[in-house]
Amino acid sequence: MSVRRAALVLLCLIATLAPLHAAERDRAVAVGGLSRKYTLITPTNVPNPIPLIIVFHGGRQNAAAARRYTRFDEFAAKENVAVVYPQGLDNNWNDGRQSEDLLQRAAANVDDVEFTREIIAQLEGERVVDAKRVYLTGASNGGMMAMRAGCELWDRIAGIAPVIANQPVDWQCKAKRLPALFIHGTDDEYMPFAGGQIAATKTRQNLGQVRSVDDTIAAFKRINSCDGVKETVTLDKVGRDETKAVVTEYACKNAPLKHIVIEGGGHTWPGARTGVVADMLLGKTSQEVNATAEIWNFFLSLGQQ
């Protein structure tokens, strides 16, 4: 082989091994007289509309934090998907909960469902995203926001994946169908597995009331017309995390419903990087499943139906 030909082969090999790149842009939309911001991650070249995943950060967090612990960016270029990290007002979302303490928050005076709608409309108008493949996810306050926006915009949302989030008692989901994946931790001291007041032992503030995990899942079983269990699998391969993951897929007529219960899991994003301090504050982070990968695979399966 000549030197020139060998060099060409090497260049081709390097090109195949080179990482795919994603483009990052800070964007804004006008909602209720305010300029609301979000970060958009896409492949560098978007010739045709692509799926969109909106990731809502947790309460008192921000878009950058959600980006760090969920790491959905990795799917942007690799899987040809757009990812949006919106920023809540004063780091919170108006997810529909009501209490005197929550009414003092700036977020209580804004319409975050409309913010979600405007993000989708802007990106659809620019032919960046496929209107039929818009998905919502988030953790805690962000998970409840994904749930509320999904329930109110159900005819425009292809699926939701709330993590460590129960349905607030203050509203009913009126969706006629809504594909959903839920992830909960049984030892979550912030989002009570049995329902009740959020973070009751962690703060003196009244952060609102939520339904139990069972009642939350039951509501979506009704919405999606589920009449049984298709499959249940228990994962317990990682001894050091001291958790188990029970994965249940329901048999549904209207839309898919899946539930992952982390036995021993805390108020955490399964599969995320963690540390001793975080474990002390929030509880155990399971490594039996990776929430980001589970959510992506669930959304991907919806697009293939």
Question: In this predicted model, what pLDDT tens digit does every residue of 2-15 receive, in sequence order?
Answer: 444 443 333 333 33
- Which domains are assigned to the chain? 19-303 (3.40.50.1820)
What is the distance between the alpha carbons of residues 26 and 279, in angstroms, rounded to a whole number?
32
Average pLDDT rounded to a whole number, residues 174-180? 98
- Under 8 Å CB-to-CB from 102, ≥6 apart: which residues? 108, 206, 207, 208
What is the distance between the alpha carbons of residues 169 and 176, in angstroms, rounded to a whole number?
19
Whether the Cβ atoms of residue 71 and residue 57 lie closer than 8 Å to each other: no
Structure tokens at 274: 């963690």
Average pLDDT rounded to a whole number, residues 88-107? 97
- Average pLDDT of the chain is 92
Question: In this predicted model, what pLDDT tens digit does every residue of 243-273 receive, in sequence order?
Answer: 999 999 999 999 999 999 999 999 999 999 8
**pLDDT beyond 90 at 73:** yes
The CA–CA distances, whole Å, from 288 to 54, 224, 269 equal 24, 27, 11
What is the distance between the alpha carbons of residues 149 and 47, in angstroms, rounded to a whole number?
28
- Under 8 Å CB-to-CB from 152, ≥6 apart: which residues? 113, 174
Average pLDDT rounded to a whole number, residues 192-210? 97
Question: In this predicted model, what pLDDT tens digit does every residue of 22-61 receive, in sequence order?
Answer: 899 999 999 999 999 999 999 998 889 999 999 999 999 9
Structure tokens at 226: 């589920």
